[in-house]
Every structure is written in C-alpha cells, then in structure tokens.
Amino acid sequence: MKTFNSIGTSPLRADAAAKTGGTLRYTDDRVRPGTLQAAVLASPYAHARITAIDTAAARRAPGVRGVFTGADWPEVLIGLYLGDKPPLARGAVRYYGEPVAVVVADDEAAALAALRLLEVQFEPLPTLASPSAALAAGAAVLHPALADYRRIPAILPEPGSNVANRTRIRKGDAAAVFATAEAAGAVVMEGCFSFPPGDHVAMEPRAVLAEYGLDGRLTVASSTQSPFGVRTLLAKALGLPERDIVVRAAPVGGGFGGKAGIQLEPLAALLALRFPGRPVRLTNTRELDLLSSPGRPGLESYVRLAARPDGELLALDMDLLFDSGAYADYAVNVSRAAAAACTGPYRVPHVRVDSLCVYTNHPFATAFRGFGHIELSYATERAMDLLAERLGMDPAELRRRNAILPGDTTPTGASLDASTGDLPACIDAVRRRLDWTAGTRSVQADGKVRAKGLACFWKAPAIPTFTEAAATVSFAEDGSVCLATGVVEIGQGTHDGLRLLVAEALAMDPGLVRVINEVDTDLSPHDWTTAASRSLFMAGRAALQAVEDATGQIRQTAAAVLRCPPEDLAVGGGRVCLRDDPERGLPLAALVLGYVYPDGNAVGGPVIGRGRYIARHLSGMDPASGAGRPGLEWTMGAEGVEIELDPRDGRLRVLRSACAMDVGTVVHPALARAQVVGAMGMGIGYATREAFQFDSHEAVVNGSLRDYKILRYGEDPQYFIDFVETPQGDGPYGARGLGEQGIIGMPGALAQAVSTAAGVQLCELPLTPEYIWRSMRAARNKTEGQA
Amino acid sequence: MTIYGPAETIELQINMESIRLAVQPGLSLMRLLRERLGLTGTRCGCENGDCGACTVLLAGVPVKSCMVLAVECAGQAIRTIEGLRDHPLQRAFTAEQGFQCGFCTSGMIMNAVALLEAHPQPDEAADREWLQSNLCRCTGYEGIRRALARARREMAEDRGG
C-alpha cells in the first residue's frame, strides 16, 4: 500500500471559521440596497385550465413595478434534457404550487401584498395521481406538444402519452428463462414496490439575484450546483450568447441534487431583462421551495426475479415507473440511470427492464442524492428480500452469493475491471458491526421487537460521456498555493479533499494550499456541474495535472538559476532542489513569481499551472438494448440497521446503523465519514417519514416543515462506518466518489428490518407507524380469517 | 395590549452594543438583524418557526427570531452568532464535523450555547428536547452530538481549572 503525506489526514475544514462564526455569505446574504423583490403566486390546483388572470389591481398597488404571467414569454421553454417547462404557467397548471404569476416591487412586503390582488380564474381538470394512472388507456396527456420539445438524443419520449423517457435494458433472454423457470425447478419471486415523491429540504431555500447590466451582460448569482450548466441553459432559453451571461455561485446551503441543473434562474433572468440596471431578487419561501421548485421522484416498480434453489440469480424482469410529476427536469435522466444500474450490485445474466419517466400531476422531480439508484435499490433490495423468504435463505447470504465481481458485466454489458469495489468484504463488515450471526429478530421483555436488516448498493455517476473539469494552480509571494476549480461548495467538503490532493502532489503542508470557494463563470475554470459524486475524481484529476504543469514551470525556471537540467529537480516541502543533492535548491517563494538575480535581472514569471480532465471511454446506451458504457466508476457498499418496533402502535426507533463502502483511497477520513453518516441520516428520513401527502385532488397537504418531517436530533442512531479501499485505477491517488452513496441502501435495509420485526413484508414507503400498524393488522386479520 | 405607531424608535443591545433605531411594528427580529443591520449570520430557513436556523438569544433565552417582532425586543439584550467568538462550541463544531453546508449552524450553535448554560452536565433528554427545534439536513446529527459532548467537557474543565 502506498504511503501518503497529506492524503489520509483530516485537517479542519477551511470554511470552519466562516460557518461557525456566521460570517459566510450565501447568495441571499448578498442583496444590495435598491434590489427589486419578486414574489410568486403558486397554483392552488394540481391540474386546471387558466381561463383568465386579472392583474390590474395588483399593478396599481403601491410599490409595484411590474406584474408578469405566462403570456409575457409565450415562446420560452426551459428544460435540462427536455425543454417542457414554461417559466410561468401558460394556459394551464399541471401541479399544485406551479408558479402562475410574479409581482416585482420595491420591497418584499409590497410584492406579497400585491399577490393577494391578483385574480386568477381556474377551471379544475381531472388529475393524474400516479404513474400507472398516467399510463392507463384514455389518461389525459399532460404534454400534447411533447414531440415538439427540444431534447438531447439520449432521452426518448413517447409523444401522445405521458412517457417523458423510456430506457430499455435487454441482456440475455429473460423471457425464455421465466417461461421455463418453474419447470426447471427455479424459484420465481414477484413483487410491487412503491413510494410517493418527496423533497430535498436543503436548509437554504433556493435564491437568485439577477441583474441585466447596461453593458448588455446578464449577471446571475444563484444558489446553484451548476453555474456553468445554468449559463448554457440560460443562453438557450433566453436566446443570449453565453458570453453575455455570467453566473456566480456562492457556497450553497445544501444541494442534494435539488440545486443542480436549472431552477429559479430563468424566471429571475427574464425579470431582470425587464428592468435593465436594477438587480432583481427571487428567493423561495420554504413553502415555494418545497412545492413550486422540484423535489425528488416517486416510484412504482413491478419486479420478477428468478433464481436457482441455491440462490443463484437467473433473471430479472422489471418495470420501473418514475413519478416525474408535471415536468421532466432531471427525472428523465434519473430513470435512465436507474436502468443502467437495474440489477443492483448482483450478477444477473438475463435482464428485461423498462425504466420510464412518467408525467403526473405531482410536483415535478429533479436530481436527488442517489440519482435513480436509491429508487432502484429500494425495488431490487425488496425483491431480494422476498426472494430470500421464498428460498428460506438468509437475505445477507443471498446477496453475498450473487455479489457482482471484477470480470462480471453490468446490465449494459460493460465489463467490471480491477478497480471494481469489493462488495463481499462490505457485506461481511456490516454483518460484523451488527452481530448478524447473533440473530436478526428478538422480542424484548417489554414486548418491543428488535430486528436487523441489510441491503447492498452500487452507483455510477450518470453523466454525459464528455463530462469534464478544469483547474488552475497559482502561487502567492509566500510560496503558498491557490487552486481554482469550477466546483461549488455545497457542504460536501470537496474543496478540502482537493486541498489534500494538491498538498500531496506538492509534498506541501495542506495549510499552505487555499481553494477558492466561490465560482464565477467568467473567472473560474470550466466544470460540468457539482453533482454525481464526481467532483473529487474529476476536478481532482484536473488539479493534479495543474500541479504537474506548475512544477514543470518551476523546474524550468529553477534549472536556469541552479544551472542544471530541469529533470534533475524535484519540488517538495516548499522548495525546489536537486534530487541527488537536496541541500542545493531554492524556496518556492523565490521563484513562483519569477526569479530575481542579485543584479536585478529576472527570469521566469508567475507560475500558473493548468489542468483539465474529461471522462474517458464512456459511450451512450443503445435505444433497443441499453448496451453501452455509461458508468465512469462504480462505488459499492452494504448497509445495515437494527431497529426496535413497538408492535402495539407501529412506532419505530433506529438503534444502530452500519455502512461499509469501497471508496478507493480515503482522501480525508473525517469528511468521508461525515458524508456517509449524513447520507445515512437522510436515508432514515426518506424511508421512515418523508413523502408528500396528497388530498384527493393531488394538492400537497404537508407543504411546510411543520408537516413535512425530516430527521431530528435524538432520532439519529449510532453510526458505524467502514471503508474498504480497493484503489480506483484512474482516480486521483486511487479515490472515487462517495458523496451520495450512503443514502442508497438505507430504504432497503430499513424495509427489511421493519418487515422482519412486523412479521409482514412491507412494500411501500415511508414506513410510518400508521402504515406498519395497518399492515400488521391486515396480516393478522388474514391469518385469523384463514384459521 | 400595546398599540404601536407606524414606526417605533426602540433601543436594543445587540452583541453588547447599544443601538437606537426606528422600526415598523410588523418587522420581525430576524429581518431587522439581516436586512437592517447586515447580521446575516442569522439565517432564514422557513420564516415559520419550524427550522431553527434563525435562533438567537433574547435576554439569554433562545428564540426563533423569525417569530419575534423587533418592537417586542425593546430594551433587551440580543446575542447573535456574530457576538460569539472563539466559543468552545464553535471550536467543537469545527473539530467534530458538526456542520457541512453551515446553513443551520448559527442557529444550532446559539441554541446549544443556552443549552449548555442550562444543562452543564450531560443530559440526553434535555439535549433532545432543546435541539429538536433545530433542523440539520447534512450531518445526520452525529457531528453535532459529538460537538456538544466535546464542548461540555471543555467547559467543565475550564470551570474546574
């Protein structure tokens, strides 16, 4: 094993003082005096025709500078992969909370007061409450113009229906296996697993400050994970050239995918264009952030698994129906990512999977931590549990027996190389942490039941084949280093990881490396987007190349001064010196801005290292079979929980949780652990309480943080984290992504544990006390009915 | 019941400094701090009293400043995150990964400051009751739990020494 100087240490976060001292300025902390305030009117209907909007009274209200509706921008359609969304509803609303009108006023109070003067006539329409309802024969088509929408080629909508994207995986001959399975003595499991959509609940609501300068340039400061993506998509949506747009991303107060892609920026920009020279602020209230801005998709899945009696998996047949809500946004690629990973981390020779992104009248969905893999994992892990039950096998053993290994192929036919993580080692680590062999179910003296559950996961970044990153390295007079990238600080701590990579490469104290924590598309090196857990990997590779370039320049300048060939020189410890005579050298401070001889002559000039990286060997997926190589790398792991259930009322406590993940080299152990723990905590919320609740007309009834419950202090379990470190061959110092992965296995692990405790297979989320209690009662009634 | 005029001149003590200013009676303490005084360390996460990101100390008591009118604070001492420097809790949140995105951190720390004054000894039930009013979406609470323990230890040692 390699030994490192900086990698594997855990220096304090560079942003600690600003974050614990309250001096860090998020986007909405940068409002200038004189900024116009925008306020949004949200639809009270999930599906309705807009027959009239009377804006006259609102326009006359004090302080109001403008009132806008969908009719103001008849041509504009926004979309990341599929341009299906007007900035404000036009003619109809398709979800509860959809922006209908916006008021711009001198101050927020005036804008909010004027909202109440808007008179909108709605004519309610029947609603589509689920993907299966939206796919049923005769269902209303929510996007009749689907065929005309601009889209990327990888997305395959089906005009005339509510299918925004369908991805097919065909590997081997699953139909033939299922046709003969039972005759051949195989066991077949069939199940349906589902959950409703929900929200990211980043603590910082989305915020945008937009200004159209008198020089014709549009400046957009946004709480975004994708400053460069916003620039590109704004250019497309507004018909402006990229050169006339600058996007700035301050550190973001939590992203989780919900601030990737394009969000409030187009509406804010359109407003700014109406008021040249004046900044316009468009910041979500919490309610708008939950309802109007996108959340995460829901899922309906129909799964069949065939296995030999010894547990060896033979075939998978599955339909994944993603509930994308009213617009496609990222969800069309979420459904595609789930297809690419559809077997979970298991060897399955025969696969038939259709993964659909389906329009409904729910709040629309975008990227969410796990990006299709959390939804998929819930379906496949539940299927594995039901199969284990049919086989009479330990569910952990069934997983271990089928764990995918180097040399196996993914559902898309891509082969797994030596960098592939060690899933069996992860399963074993989780079993040890949870004392798996001591038994997975026990009844306590007080009648409560304790049970354990274990699930596996894998994830590859779902990214364009040409996803890239760039970095520059420059120096100050004191020899310290400044790294610039296009990576946004969203809490994940990638900048601290990058700092260690650079420090390692320069054999330098990490305290002498500074990473710029703001992104400005005019100034920062280009970067695809801060998503897909690929920033440390890709910006890391770019940063290492930038260091290489910088040290080349340093050696070149030093070679002249030290009168030696540049290849005889090494950079380290803040010096450049002869490899074979380290005493002979110079401090970096003496030459990073150019070396000055005693007589005043100078050579060199400021060192600036440039680095870039682009994904290698990726390809798209064949529309008929899915064949291709969409995955940059695969991070694998296992997760487990121990819960305590009160069978009298269905109340649940999570006592212990464990995650073992093969992340390659662990760059910053404390931050790596923190990422995984945080993701697991989020997974507990996802599985046990979080989801939108709808009334009979698909209006959300829990649209505030009072009713939409996330995990609170004291509900957190003990967390056990183990890292396996199979190096990623092409990762920076062998590292790969880990930011999202910790959430993926939690719903499956919790569903297994709670099902074991309850004595009934629970096939829906969230696992609320009411749902558990009802399921137990139904099972009991059924048993008693049979007796 | 107090009847307020369209603007009230009030005197506040904010982070040990006295300040006199005219405020509209409908203005919340959170907006006064953020929009009038530039003390943006007090964050706005919901403006509904649900998330705790705007927690400050009012006469030593943690309050959600979005739920308090500025005029109600007349004559009282207010402490915000900007008034806290090199506090054991700030060091402990740093050392124990008690934050990630940082958005909940100001409110979480201000509530914890009062918590540790009221409960200097470890007390899981009290911690739970107090800190359930502050939401954190990043940490899974492990780092916050550890930070609280570390700060308690350090403060106990200081008192002992």
Chain B residues touching residue A199 (CB < 8 angstroms): none
CATH code of A16-23+467-614, in short, is 3.30.365.10
Per-residue pLDDT tens digits for A650-680: 999 999 999 999 999 999 999 999 999 999 9
- Ramachandran angles phi, psi of A145, nearest 5°: -95, 20
Determine the pLDDT at residue A2.
66
In the numeric block, the tokens 């006390």 are attached to: A769
Per-residue pLDDT tens digits for A572-628: 999 999 999 999 999 999 999 999 999 999 999 999 999 999 999 999 999 999 999
Q: Is the pLDDT of residue A1 over 60?
A: no
Give the burial string for A1-26 (b: 16+ CB within 10 Å, else e).
Answer: eeeebbbbebbebbbbebbbbbebeb
Determine the pLDDT at residue A786.
73
User: ipTM strictly over 0.90?
Assistant: yes
Q: Where are the domains of chain A?
A: 16-23+467-614, 32-127+200-291, 298-463+620-786
Tokens at A619, concatenated: 């390809």
SS3 at position A207: strand
In this structure, are strands A651-662 and A718-724 parallel, antiparallel, or unpaired?
parallel
Per-residue pLDDT tens digits for B31-84: 999 999 999 999 999 999 999 999 999 999 999 999 999 999 999 999 999 999
Chain A residues touching residue B45 (CB < 8 angstroms): 203-205, 286, 705
In the numeric block, the tokens 């359109």 are attached to: A270
B81–A109 C-beta distance less than 8 A:
no
CATH code of A32-127+200-291, in short, is 3.90.1170.50
CA distances in angstroms from B61 to A216, A625, B17, B51, B159, listed in the order given: 50, 63, 18, 17, 22
Per-residue pLDDT tens digits for A322-362: 999 999 999 999 999 999 999 999 999 999 999 999 999 99
Tokens at A98, concatenated: 């959809």
Chain A residues touching residue B151 (CB < 8 angstroms): none
Per-residue pLDDT tens digits for A96-133: 999 999 999 999 999 999 999 999 999 999 999 999 99
Per-residue pLDDT tens digits for A692-731: 999 999 999 999 999 999 999 999 999 999 999 999 999 9
Chain B residues touching residue A492 (CB < 8 angstroms): 100
Q: Where are the domains of chain B?
A: 8-83, 88-160
CA distance B40 to chain A (A): 6
CATH code of B88-160, in short, is 1.10.150.120
The shortest CB-CB distance from B106 to any of A22, A25, A710 is to A22
Determine the pLDDT at residue A728.
96
Per-residue pLDDT tens digits for A418-429: 999 999 999 999
Determine the pLDDT at residue B160.
81
Per-residue pLDDT tens digits for A170-196: 999 999 999 999 999 999 999 999 999
Mean pLDDT of A256-264: 96
Determine the pLDDT at residue A99.
98
In this structure, are strands A513-515 and A36-42 parallel, antiparallel, or unpaired?
unpaired
Q: Kindly indicate the confidence band of residue A785, based on its pLDDT and cuts at 50, 70 and 90.
A: confident
Which of A203, A224, A689, A704 to substitute to test the interface with B, most B CBs within 10 Å?
A: A203
CA distances in angstroms from A411 to A342, A346, A423, A622, listed in the order given: 7, 10, 17, 12
The architecture CATH gives domain B8-83: Roll (3.10)
In this structure, are strands A313-325 and A245-249 parallel, antiparallel, or unpaired?
unpaired
CA gap A93, A127 in Å, rounded? 11
For the four alpha carbons of A527, A528, A531 and A536, in that order, the dihedral sign comes to negative
Mean pLDDT of A367-388: 98
Q: Is the pLDDT of residue B161 over 60?
A: no
- Amino acid letter for position A325: G
The architecture CATH gives domain A298-463+620-786: 2-Layer Sandwich (3.30)
Q: What is the DSSP string of B83-149?
A: G--S-HHHHHHHHTT--SS-TTHHHHHHHHHHHHHH--S--HHHHHHHHTTS--SSSTTHHHHHHHH
Determine the pLDDT at residue B4.
84
Sheet containing strand A608-614, strands side by side: A513-515, A481-485, A468-475, A608-614
Cα A109–chain centre separation: 35
CA distances in angstroms from A597 to A476, A561, B133, listed in the order given: 19, 8, 63
Determine the pLDDT at residue A783.
86
Question: Percentage of residues in chain B with pLDDT exceeding 70?
Answer: 99
- Amino acid letter for position A504: E
Per-residue pLDDT tens digits for A57-96: 999 999 999 999 999 999 999 999 999 999 999 999 999 9
Mean pLDDT of A547-568: 98
B103–A254 C-beta distance less than 8 A:
yes
Q: What would the 3-class secondary structure string for B82-95 be?
A: HHCCCCHHHHHHHH
Q: Kindly indicate the confidence band of residue B159, based on its pLDDT and cuts at 50, 70 and 90.
A: confident
Contact in structure between A298 and A54 (CB atoms under 8 Å): no
Q: Is the pLDDT of residue A487 over 80?
A: yes
B141–A711 C-beta distance less than 8 A:
yes
Instruction: Mention every residue, 6+ apart, whose C-beta is less than 8 A from residue A69.
Output: A53, A55, A88, A100, A101
CA proximity to B103, closest of B29, B39, B41, B33: B41
In the numeric block, the tokens 């129909």 are attached to: A302
B48–A704 C-beta distance less than 8 A:
yes
The shortest CB-CB distance from A253 to any of B39, B101, B144 is to B101
